[in-house]
Amino acid sequence: MKTPGLVFSLMLALLLSGCATIAAEEGHDHKVADVNTRLGMGYYGQNRLDDALKALKKAVSAEPDYAPAQSAIALVYDRMGMDKEAKQHYLKAIELSPKDGSVYNNYGVFLCQVGQFKEADTYFMKAIKTPLYPTPERAYENAGACARHIPDLKISESYLREALSRNPKLPISLYNLAEITFAQ
Protein backbone atom coordinates (compact mmCIF):
# COMPACT_ATOMS: atom_id res chain seq x y z
CA MET A 1 0.00 0.00 0.00
CA LYS A 2 1.33 3.42 -1.02
CA THR A 3 1.21 6.20 1.47
CA PRO A 4 -0.05 9.63 0.39
CA GLY A 5 3.35 11.09 1.27
CA LEU A 6 5.14 8.64 -1.02
CA VAL A 7 2.74 9.33 -3.89
CA PHE A 8 3.18 13.08 -3.39
CA SER A 9 6.97 12.69 -3.31
CA LEU A 10 6.95 10.68 -6.54
CA MET A 11 4.67 13.20 -8.26
CA LEU A 12 6.82 16.10 -7.05
CA ALA A 13 9.97 14.36 -8.33
CA LEU A 14 8.35 13.80 -11.72
CA LEU A 15 7.17 17.41 -11.86
CA LEU A 16 10.58 18.78 -10.93
CA SER A 17 12.36 16.56 -13.44
CA GLY A 18 10.01 17.96 -16.10
CA CYS A 19 10.94 21.51 -15.03
CA ALA A 20 14.62 20.66 -15.26
CA THR A 21 14.09 19.34 -18.78
CA ILE A 22 12.23 22.52 -19.76
CA ALA A 23 14.97 24.69 -18.25
CA ALA A 24 17.64 22.70 -20.07
CA GLU A 25 15.72 23.02 -23.35
CA GLU A 26 15.29 26.77 -22.83
CA GLY A 27 19.01 27.10 -22.12
CA HIS A 28 19.69 25.04 -25.21
CA ASP A 29 17.46 27.30 -27.31
CA HIS A 30 19.34 30.36 -26.06
CA LYS A 31 22.67 28.77 -26.87
CA VAL A 32 21.45 27.78 -30.35
CA ALA A 33 20.23 31.35 -30.89
CA ASP A 34 23.47 32.87 -29.64
CA VAL A 35 25.78 30.59 -31.63
CA ASN A 36 23.78 31.01 -34.83
CA THR A 37 23.63 34.79 -34.35
CA ARG A 38 27.41 34.92 -34.03
CA LEU A 39 27.81 32.61 -37.01
CA GLY A 40 25.36 34.66 -39.06
CA MET A 41 27.18 37.89 -38.28
CA GLY A 42 30.46 36.25 -39.25
CA TYR A 43 28.97 35.35 -42.61
CA TYR A 44 27.52 38.84 -42.90
CA GLY A 45 30.98 40.30 -42.36
CA GLN A 46 32.24 38.12 -45.22
CA ASN A 47 29.31 39.22 -47.39
CA ARG A 48 28.01 35.63 -47.50
CA LEU A 49 24.44 36.79 -47.16
CA ASP A 50 22.68 33.51 -47.99
CA ASP A 51 24.70 31.67 -45.33
CA ALA A 52 24.12 34.53 -42.88
CA LEU A 53 20.40 34.40 -43.48
CA LYS A 54 20.26 30.62 -42.94
CA ALA A 55 22.12 30.87 -39.64
CA LEU A 56 20.06 33.83 -38.44
CA LYS A 57 16.78 32.13 -39.35
CA LYS A 58 17.88 29.25 -37.10
CA ALA A 59 18.67 31.73 -34.35
CA VAL A 60 15.30 33.48 -34.60
CA SER A 61 13.51 30.14 -34.80
CA ALA A 62 15.29 28.84 -31.70
CA GLU A 63 14.55 31.96 -29.67
CA PRO A 64 12.23 34.53 -31.30
CA ASP A 65 12.69 36.98 -28.41
CA TYR A 66 16.48 37.11 -28.68
CA ALA A 67 17.09 40.76 -29.59
CA PRO A 68 20.60 40.30 -31.05
CA ALA A 69 19.25 37.71 -33.52
CA GLN A 70 16.37 40.00 -34.50
CA SER A 71 18.76 42.91 -35.02
CA ALA A 72 21.24 40.82 -36.98
CA ILE A 73 18.65 39.31 -39.32
CA ALA A 74 17.29 42.81 -39.94
CA LEU A 75 20.75 43.89 -41.11
CA VAL A 76 20.94 40.94 -43.50
CA TYR A 77 17.48 41.55 -44.92
CA ASP A 78 18.39 45.23 -45.27
CA ARG A 79 21.57 44.43 -47.20
CA MET A 80 19.62 42.01 -49.40
CA GLY A 81 17.11 44.75 -50.25
CA MET A 82 14.24 42.94 -48.54
CA ASP A 83 12.78 46.07 -46.96
CA LYS A 84 9.55 44.62 -45.57
CA GLU A 85 11.38 41.84 -43.72
CA ALA A 86 14.13 44.19 -42.55
CA LYS A 87 11.63 46.66 -41.10
CA GLN A 88 9.72 43.90 -39.32
CA HIS A 89 12.86 42.59 -37.61
CA TYR A 90 14.24 46.05 -36.77
CA LEU A 91 10.99 46.90 -35.03
CA LYS A 92 11.01 43.57 -33.16
CA ALA A 93 14.61 44.20 -32.05
CA ILE A 94 13.65 47.68 -30.82
CA GLU A 95 10.67 46.22 -28.94
CA LEU A 96 12.88 43.59 -27.30
CA SER A 97 15.80 45.89 -26.54
CA PRO A 98 14.60 49.49 -26.16
CA LYS A 99 17.84 50.58 -24.46
CA ASP A 100 20.10 49.47 -27.32
CA GLY A 101 21.18 52.58 -29.20
CA SER A 102 22.81 50.59 -32.00
CA VAL A 103 19.43 49.15 -33.02
CA TYR A 104 17.95 52.67 -33.20
CA ASN A 105 20.95 53.83 -35.24
CA ASN A 106 20.76 50.88 -37.65
CA TYR A 107 17.04 51.38 -38.10
CA GLY A 108 17.65 55.07 -38.75
CA VAL A 109 20.13 54.17 -41.50
CA PHE A 110 17.56 51.80 -42.99
CA LEU A 111 14.84 54.47 -42.94
CA CYS A 112 17.18 56.97 -44.59
CA GLN A 113 17.98 54.48 -47.34
CA VAL A 114 14.29 53.99 -48.10
CA GLY A 115 13.71 57.74 -48.22
CA GLN A 116 12.02 58.26 -44.84
CA PHE A 117 14.41 61.02 -43.79
CA LYS A 118 12.38 62.69 -41.01
CA GLU A 119 11.54 59.37 -39.37
CA ALA A 120 15.20 58.33 -39.69
CA ASP A 121 16.22 61.47 -37.81
CA THR A 122 13.88 60.50 -34.97
CA TYR A 123 15.65 57.16 -34.59
CA PHE A 124 19.13 58.68 -34.79
CA MET A 125 18.16 61.00 -31.94
CA LYS A 126 16.81 58.06 -29.93
CA ALA A 127 20.17 56.33 -30.39
CA ILE A 128 22.03 59.44 -29.24
CA LYS A 129 19.82 59.78 -26.16
CA THR A 130 20.30 56.16 -25.15
CA PRO A 131 22.49 56.47 -22.03
CA LEU A 132 24.72 53.44 -22.57
CA TYR A 133 25.12 53.77 -26.35
CA PRO A 134 28.91 53.79 -26.75
CA THR A 135 29.17 55.55 -30.13
CA PRO A 136 26.74 58.48 -30.38
CA GLU A 137 29.15 60.11 -32.84
CA ARG A 138 28.13 57.41 -35.34
CA ALA A 139 24.47 58.32 -34.96
CA TYR A 140 25.33 62.00 -35.44
CA GLU A 141 27.38 61.07 -38.49
CA ASN A 142 24.52 59.04 -39.96
CA ALA A 143 22.01 61.78 -39.14
CA GLY A 144 24.24 64.32 -40.88
CA ALA A 145 24.69 62.17 -43.97
CA CYS A 146 20.95 61.50 -44.07
CA ALA A 147 20.05 65.20 -43.70
CA ARG A 148 22.06 65.90 -46.86
CA HIS A 149 19.44 63.89 -48.76
CA ILE A 150 16.50 66.01 -47.56
CA PRO A 151 18.45 68.31 -48.42
CA ASP A 152 18.91 70.32 -45.26
CA LEU A 153 22.54 71.36 -45.35
CA LYS A 154 22.33 73.47 -42.19
CA ILE A 155 21.11 70.56 -40.04
CA SER A 156 23.48 68.19 -41.84
CA GLU A 157 26.44 70.43 -41.08
CA SER A 158 25.37 70.76 -37.44
CA TYR A 159 25.16 66.96 -36.98
CA LEU A 160 28.46 66.36 -38.76
CA ARG A 161 30.25 68.97 -36.66
CA GLU A 162 28.87 67.33 -33.51
CA ALA A 163 30.08 63.93 -34.72
CA LEU A 164 33.55 65.35 -35.40
CA SER A 165 33.68 67.12 -32.04
CA ARG A 166 33.29 63.68 -30.45
CA ASN A 167 35.66 61.92 -32.85
CA PRO A 168 37.67 64.08 -35.27
CA LYS A 169 38.75 61.07 -37.34
CA LEU A 170 35.40 60.02 -38.81
CA PRO A 171 36.01 59.81 -42.57
CA ILE A 172 32.33 59.86 -43.58
CA SER A 173 31.75 62.99 -41.50
CA LEU A 174 34.85 64.64 -42.89
CA TYR A 175 33.84 63.81 -46.45
CA ASN A 176 30.25 65.00 -46.05
CA LEU A 177 31.34 68.19 -44.32
CA ALA A 178 33.80 68.88 -47.14
CA GLU A 179 31.01 68.34 -49.68
CA ILE A 180 28.73 70.75 -47.84
CA THR A 181 31.48 73.35 -47.55
CA PHE A 182 32.24 73.02 -51.26
CA ALA A 183 28.54 73.37 -52.13
CA GLN A 184 28.30 76.56 -50.09
Q: What structural domains does the chain harbor?
A: 19-97 (1.25.40.10), 121-184 (no CATH)
Confidence (pTM) = 0.81
DSSP string, 154-179: HHHHHHHHHHHHH-TT-HHHHHHHHH
- Which residue in 81, 54, 59 sits closest to 71, CA to CA? 59
- pLDDT at position 184, please? 79
Find the mean pLDDT for residues 153-170: 96
Better-predicted residue by pLDDT, 183 or 11: 183
CA 179 – CA 108 distance, rounded (Å): 22
CA 37 – CA 77 distance, rounded (Å): 14
Residue 130: pLDDT over 60:
yes
69-126 pLDDT, tens digit per residue, is 999 999 999 999 999 999 999 999 999 999 999 999 999 999 999 999 999 999 999 9
Q: Which residues contact 96 (CB under 8 A, 6 or more apart)?
A: 65, 66, 67, 70
Cα atoms in the Cβ-side hemisphere of radius 13 Å centred on 124: 26
Find the mean pLDDT for residues 17-40: 69
Q: What angle do CA 31, 33, 51 make, to 5 degrees?
A: 125
CA 168 – CA 104 distance, rounded (Å): 23
How would you class 150 by CB atoms within 10 Å of its CB: exposed for 0-12, middle for 13-18, buried for 19 or more?
Answer: middle
Query: What angle do helix axes 67-79 and 101-113 make, rounded to 10 degrees?
Result: 20
CA 119 – CA 110 distance, rounded (Å): 10
